[in-house]
């Protein structure tokens, strides 16, 4: 019997840049991705546009799916000849229940592969400036579960040996049982003065670190209302944090930046946010897909030499236009003699990657500016091809037609709501010690956001956020929902939007 394959992939501790190369390869080719709560959604930007995303996250007292159903889900999709990625936080075999999932696959004869991930036990302390070993004070470390299965008759944790050991002790998922951990160690002889650190949301821009000793850490957790998930570090290496901390010194540290663009267009912007120390939160409100009917585009391509200009208004337009040329078996040389215009540097770059020079690129990235510029190069009666989205603004075509230029519009791709139910915890996205920044890169990202979460809930969610817009048209749409725009890019690109955010935050810090 034919079957698909399941890749059990460790997503790493949170920072999406810590995914392994093999893990990234698996995500890129996956047809189905089954992912957990502690997986950074930004990793989904590596997936192909048509991949099925299934959220099975677990939080205390709230499981999207229980473990047995997750196991069966993996097997069911694989039996349907799908390439399945089971994306798990950290490493699948470090308290990740990956073994249970693999056992079922093995029993059913379904092919699988294990892709290890960077465990939070090592990475999270490192991002907090705490080495798990150091030649001057400790030569080993132990990783211990912070909670055992309640149905166990007796503990498997050797508390006597842990209390006597000089090794660094690392407890995962142990905040709820911190009192038990401290009692077990101290009652068996561990010094009350032993340094302790709790690290919440380690490796992310909202990372929080709480330091103390076995004597006072429980009181400090209560005073700060320090909540899970967190990694607990016990040992002398905690004292090195003051000298070695580095992550919190980044300019965007503590700042969440929410990205509403489609997954496949987020990568570059994400990387820049992460490099600045911020947390890039992926919340795509738009999905890009091929058109339902290729006939208008195909007819235009059949007589492409009749057009004096082809005007591309987005990267997506370029992508789907040239994909269709290839699918039809046409020769790109048929575009010889046709002038190409592009709105924005990224769109122009996408065209030039095809080996085609741009004849016109307006300084201002708005339809009105493009129309004005093109009118200098065209005459009444000339015909222009405009590959566009199904919901594109009519302003460019109308402005050209008003001057006597003939415009052939061809829907090249769909700009639509993401398919499937969005089971993410929206409220969690908009929390943090600093105001989160929510970025809108088009009017459709704004409208779809409020459609996804609901208008009333959407206004409530963004109430304590900074709203950042890519340009005046998008800002106008934001204001139509009764909201104020805090940041508007002066250059209508994602780089211009980032510049606007940086300028705003620098001024805010000085005030």
Phi, then psi, of 278 in degrees rounded to 5 = -85, 175
**Token pair belonging to 76:** 């069911």
209 beta partners = 199
DSSP 186: H
- Reply yes or no on whether 36 is catalytic: yes
- Reply yes or no on whether 58 is catalytic: yes
Give pLDDT, residue 431: 78
Which of 24, 173, 272, 346 does the annotation list as catalytic? 173
Q: Tokens 């901390």 identify what position?
A: 245
The secondary structure element, H or E, covering residue 49 is none
Name the nearest CA neighbour of 173 among 97, 229, 130: 229
Secondary structure of 386-417 as H, E, C letters: EEEECCCCCHHHHHHHHCCCEEEEEEEEEEEC
Give pLDDT, residue 375: 80
Other CB atoms within a 10 A radius of the CB of residue 287 amount to: 18
Other CB atoms within a 10 A radius of the CB of residue 165 amount to: 16
Name the nearest CA neighbour of 235 among 92, 343, 341, 137: 137
Q: HSE-up of 471 (CA within 13 Å, CB side)? A: 16
**Which residues, including other chains, have CB under 8 Å from residue 440's CB and lie 6 or more apart?**
260, 446, 449, 467, 468, 469, 470, 474, 477, 478
CA dist list (Å): 171 to 147, 405, 496: 9, 69, 43
Reply yes or no: is the peptide bond before residue 229 cis, omega within 30 of 0: yes
Q: From edge to edge, which strands make up the β-sheet containing 339-342?
A: 287-289, 406-416, 383-389, 309-312, 339-342
DSSP 165: -
Helix 443-453 to helix 472-479 angle (10° resolution) is 30
Residues 385, 307 contacting (CB under 8 angstroms)? yes
Q: How many residues belong to the chain?
A: 511
Which of 24, 58, 346, 435 does the annotation list as catalytic? 58
Encode burial over 334-346: b for 16+ CB neighbours within 10 A, e otherwise: ebeebbbbbbbeb
- Reply yes or no on whether 173 is catalytic: yes
Pick the CATH number of 122-248 from 3.30.950.10, 3.40.50.2020, 2.60.40.10, 1.10.1660.10: 3.30.950.10
- Domain 256-286+419-510 fold: Rossmann fold (3.40.50)
Dihedral, 373, 374, 378, 379 alpha carbons, nearest 10: -80
What is the C-alpha separation between 121 and 417, in angstroms, rounded?
38
**Which residues, including other chains, have CB under 8 Å from residue 432's CB and lie 6 or more apart?**
206, 254, 255, 256
pTM of the complete model: 0.74
What is the C-alpha separation between 266 and 175, in angstroms, rounded?
34
Mapped onto helix, strand or coil, the DSSP state of residue 359 is: coil
CA 456 to chain centre: 25
Give pLDDT, residue 510: 73
Would you list the DSSP string of 52-97?
Answer: EEEE--EETTEESS-HHHHHHHHHHHHHTT-EEEEEESB-TTSSS-
Residues 265, 289 contacting (CB under 8 angstroms)? no
Domain boundaries, the chain: 5-118, 122-248, 256-286+419-510, 289-416
Name the nearest CA neighbour of 221 among 167, 174, 163: 174
Give pLDDT, residue 499: 96
Look up the CATH number of domain 289-416: 3.40.50.10090
Residue ranges of the chain whose pLDDT lies below 70: 1-2, 58-64, 148-154, 365-368, 420-425, 511
Mapped onto helix, strand or coil, the DSSP state of residue 378 is: coil
- Domain 5-118 fold: Cobalt-precorrin-4 Transmethylase; domain 1 (3.40.1010)
Q: Same CATH topology for 256-286+419-510 and 289-416?
A: yes
CA dist list (Å): 352 to 137, 342, 345, 496: 57, 10, 10, 21
Helix residue ranges, H only, 194-294: 217-224, 241-244, 267-275
Q: From edge to edge, which strands make up the β-sheet containing 5-10?
A: 52-55, 32-35, 83-88, 5-10, 112-115
Phi, then psi, of 142 in degrees rounded to 5 = -125, 140
DSSP 18: G
Residues 487, 437 contacting (CB under 8 angstroms)? yes
Give pLDDT, residue 366: 67
CA 105 to chain centre: 29
Straight-line distance from the first to the last Cα atom of the chain, in angstroms, rounded to the nearest whole number = 67
**Token pair belonging to 184:** 């077990």
């Amino acid at each position: 019997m034919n079957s698909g394959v399941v890749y059990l992939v460790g997503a790493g501790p949170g920072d999406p840049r810590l995914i392994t190369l093999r893990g990234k390869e698996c995500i890129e080719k996956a047809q189905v991705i089954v992912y957990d709560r502690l997986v950074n959604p930004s990793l989904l930007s590596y997936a192909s546009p048509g991949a099925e995303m299934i959220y099975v996250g677990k939080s205390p007292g709230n499981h999207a799916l229980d473990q047995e159903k997750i196991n069966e889900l993996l097997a069911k999709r694989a039996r349907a000849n799908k390439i399945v990625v089971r994306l798990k936080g950290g490493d699948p075999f470090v308290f990740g229940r990956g073994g249970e999932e693999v056992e079922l696959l093995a029993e059913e004869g379904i092919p699988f592969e294990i892709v290890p991930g960077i465990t939070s036990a090592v990475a999270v302390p490192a991002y907090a400036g705490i080495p798990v070993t150091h030649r001057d004070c400790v030569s080993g470390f132990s990783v211990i579960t912070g909670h055992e299965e309640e149905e166990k008759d007796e503990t498997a944790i050797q508390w006597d040996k842990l209390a006597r050991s000089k090794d660094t002790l690392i407890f995962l998922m142990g905040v709820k049982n911190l009192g038990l951990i401290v009692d077990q160690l101290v009652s068996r002889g561990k010094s009350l003065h032993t340094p302790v650190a709790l690290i919440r949301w380690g490796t992310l821009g909202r990372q929080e670190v709480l330091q103390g000793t076995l004597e006072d850490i429980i009181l400090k957790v209560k005073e700060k209302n320090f909540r899970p998930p967190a990694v607990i570090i016990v040992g002398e290496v905690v004292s090195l944090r003051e000298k070695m901390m580095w992550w919190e010194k980044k300019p965007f540290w503590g700042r969440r930046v929410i990205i509403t663009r489609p997954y496949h267009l987020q990568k570059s912007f994400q990387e820049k946010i992460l490099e600045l120390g911020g947390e890039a939160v992926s919340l795509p409100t738009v999905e890009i897909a091929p058109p339902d009917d290729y006939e208008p585009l195909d007819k235009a391509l059949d007589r492409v030499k009749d057009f004096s200009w082809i005007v591309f208004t987005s990267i997506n337009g370029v992508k789907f236009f040239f994909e269709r040329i290839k699918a039809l078996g046409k020769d790109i040389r048929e575009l010889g003699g046709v002038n190409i215009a592009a709105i924005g540097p990224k769109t122009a770059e996408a065209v030039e990657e095809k080996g085609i020079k741009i004849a016109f690129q307006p300084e201002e990235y708005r339809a009105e500016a493009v129309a004005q510029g093109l009118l200098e190069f065209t005459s009444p009666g000339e015909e222009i091809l405009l590959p566009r989205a199904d919901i594109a603004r009519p302003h460019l075509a109308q402005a050209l037609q008003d001057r006597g230029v003939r415009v052939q519009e061809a829907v090249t791709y769909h700009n639509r709501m993401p398919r499937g139910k969005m089971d993410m915890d929206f409220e969690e996205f908009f929390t943090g010690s600093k105001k989160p920044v929510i970025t809108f890169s088009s009017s459709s990202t704004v409208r779809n956001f409020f459609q996804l979460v609901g208008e009333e809930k959407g206004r409530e969610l963004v109430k304590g956020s900074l709203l950042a817009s890519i340009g005046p048209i998008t800002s106008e749409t934001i204001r139509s929902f009764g909201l104020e725009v805090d940041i508007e890019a002066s250059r209508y690109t994602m780089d211009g939007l980032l510049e606007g955010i940086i300028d705003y935050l620098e001024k805010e810090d000085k005030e």
